[in-house]
A and B are shown apart, each in its own frame.
Chain A
Amino acid sequence: MSATLTPPASAAPSGSTAPMIAIADLSKTFRRRDGGTHLALDRIALDVHEGEFVSILGPSGCGKSTLLYMVGGFVEPSSGTIAVGGRPVTGPGPDRGPVFQEFALFPWKTVLGNVAYGLREAGLGRSAAEAQARQLIERVGLKGYESFYPKELSGGMKQRVAIARTLAYGPAILLMDEPFGALDAHTRVRLQNELLGLWERDRKTVLFVTHAVDEAVFLSDRVVVMSRQPGRIKAIVPVDLPRPRRREELLLDPRYQRLVIDLEAMIEDPPEDLPA
């Protein structure tokens, strides 16, 4: 095995600075309808550093989304702590921008309205917000679609809008929950490339949930492998592939191939396409 496996407990920091996201001893228990409890996440420990691209890889139901929602402040932990930028998470905030598999665009707003939303909330006037939103829309390749409603767009276009809407308010951290999971293979690859392009420019901290091994390896600095029932971190695998990465080169790179094979072997459960 050429991949170096790091035991989860000593999630090795790659630099000397304090982690951007510090997750310690984090557990989540859901109440079941029959009155019992369900341990979805069991004592998760993970540090993510500024500018790092970390993927969370695991079978459906292992708690990937729940973990991301807790970092986002949307769901409360049952126990343990999450700190972002050194401060404990108490709720959602514009330092952490989510991108969901289901896009979650506001159907009553146009593309422009969706992207301008966070800018308006940040206190910008209408024309300033719209001018900035137009630039972002152009950056994600949707120039000309400003006045379209989400329902008039394809899945890939919707996700571009959702990414632009989130980038608009300038979060230091992107929390992406299987953002390309609902897209066809071709669109998926295009958006992976574009996301990597955006990331290489801004170097935002990214926590990226996926159940696709190739996607995780292509994008990430580290891959957190999870197992289910209960959701635990099984291994944290560094991806020591040079950047900037180009898909055509990577596919031929033996190190890439090795990583994909190793990671696939680690996920014992076949990834299902069940909505969790």
Chain B
Amino acid sequence: MIALRRESLLGLLPILALLAAWQGTVAGGLVPPALLPPPAAVFGRLGQNLVDPAFLGHAGVTLYRLFAGFLIALAIGVPLGLAGARIRALGAVVRPLVRVLAPVPKIALYPALILSLGFDDASKIVLVVADALFPILLATFAGAASVEPKLVWSARAAGTSAAATLWKVVLPATLPAILTGSRIALVIACIVVFLAEMITSTDGLGYLLVRATRTFQIVDMFVPLLAISGIGLLLNGALALARRHLLRGFPEEG
């Protein structure tokens, strides 16, 4: 526990160094303040915005799209990964599809999504789903395929049907892999929702950045970036907590 706290304190150092470099760049006159405002100005504005209902509304919209997309990706990726890994016929269908679709840059689908689903939430959520799905699906698939057979046998001998072992044994045994995939998916979801809002939107953090750019509000340009970074940090922390609770019985990883 103490070691853990020391580690997270150490983890603060590079972030402080980054802020110091930022401050140094501005103070040293390397970049005109009109292009790069000092950190104090940005954090000050962020602080003001955090009590501004309009800004919080935009952040809320972004969070909604992010969560909706992530949860849908989870709801598709986990069952598909489990079943694909354990049911041979389904695996034969899913595997080639994943191989072909996983490397496609999903953002390239965005114009088509806008045309078919409109500018609002739906197209952005679908884009998040498309991008968050593959890390979850691939991790679940790999995890479920390598579940120790004796765990499944132990359950089968105890009377569990072959089908029921999928959620009674394979799912919990795959939980470490699913959570690892989810962690990657969450980071990707943060990036993608922001990008989608930058490309075309009337709300959300990505939209705030574009609006600030159009009106040369340099400080306001950096605030949404800090906000999405903070959201990513919080979500990652929440997931780490969930992981510690859910995997409390599993051997520690190296």
Contacts and interface: CB of A to CB of B under 8 A. Distances in A.
Interface string B162-197: 100000010011010000000000000000000000
A102 B159 contact: no
Interface stretch (B3-11, B25-33, B43-51, B148-156): B148-156
Interface in A245-262: none
Contact of A94 (B159, B162, B173, B248): B159
Given A100-B150, A121-B159, A168-B158, 17 more contacts: A74-B149, A74-B153, A91-B156, A91-B162, A98-B150, A98-B154, A104-B150, A104-B154, A107-B250, A107-B251, A108-B173, A108-B175, A108-B247, A151-B250, A151-B251, A165-B154, A166-B157
Contacts of B169: 106
Interface residues of B, number: 22
B96 interface: no
Contacts of A165: 154, 158
B249 A121 contact: no
B160 interface: yes
Interface of A: 69, 72-74, 91-94, 96-98, 100, 102, 104, 106-110, 117-118, 121-122, 149-151, 165-166, 168-169, 171
Contacts of A169: 157-159
A92 B162 CA distance: 10
A84 B41 CA distance: 79
Contact of A98 (B148, B153, B160): B153
Nearest to B250: A107
Nearest to A148: B249
B24 to A, nearest CB: 47
A109 B157 contact: no
A234 to B, nearest CB: 28
18 contacts: A92-B156, A92-B157, A94-B158, A98-B157, A104-B150, A106-B154, A106-B173, A108-B247, A109-B249, A110-B249, A117-B158, A118-B158, A149-B248, A149-B249, A151-B251, A165-B154, A165-B158, A171-B157
B151 A72 contact: no
A108 B158 contact: no
A149 B221 CA distance: 50
Nearest to B156: A92
A150 B249 contact: yes
Nearest to A98: B157
Interface of B: 148-151, 153-160, 162, 169, 172-173, 175, 247-251
A69 B150 CA distance: 10
Contact of A74 (B148, B156, B249): B156
A110 B248 CA distance: 10
Nearest to B149: A74
A92 B153 contact: yes
A1 to B, nearest CB: 38
A169 B250 CA distance: 25
Nearest to B169: A106
Contact of B148 (A92, A104, A149, A151): A104
A34 B67 CA distance: 48
B248 to A, nearest CB: 7
Query: Closest 10 interchain pairs by CB?
Result: A118-B158, A104-B150, A149-B249, A92-B156, A121-B159, A108-B172, A92-B157, A94-B159, A74-B153, A107-B249
Contacts of A166: 154, 157-158
Contacts of B175: 108
Given A149-B249, A151-B250, A106 B157 contact: no
Contacts of A118: 158-159
Contacts of A117: 155, 158
Contacts of B250: 107-108, 151
Contacts of A74: 149, 153, 156
B247 to A, nearest CB: 8
Contacts of A69: 153
Contact of B157 (A97, A107, A108, A110): A97
A149 B252 CA distance: 13
Contacts of B159: 93-94, 118, 121-122, 169
A171 B160 CA distance: 14
Nearest to B154: A104
B249 to A, nearest CB: 4
B157 A72 contact: yes
Contacts of B251: 107, 151
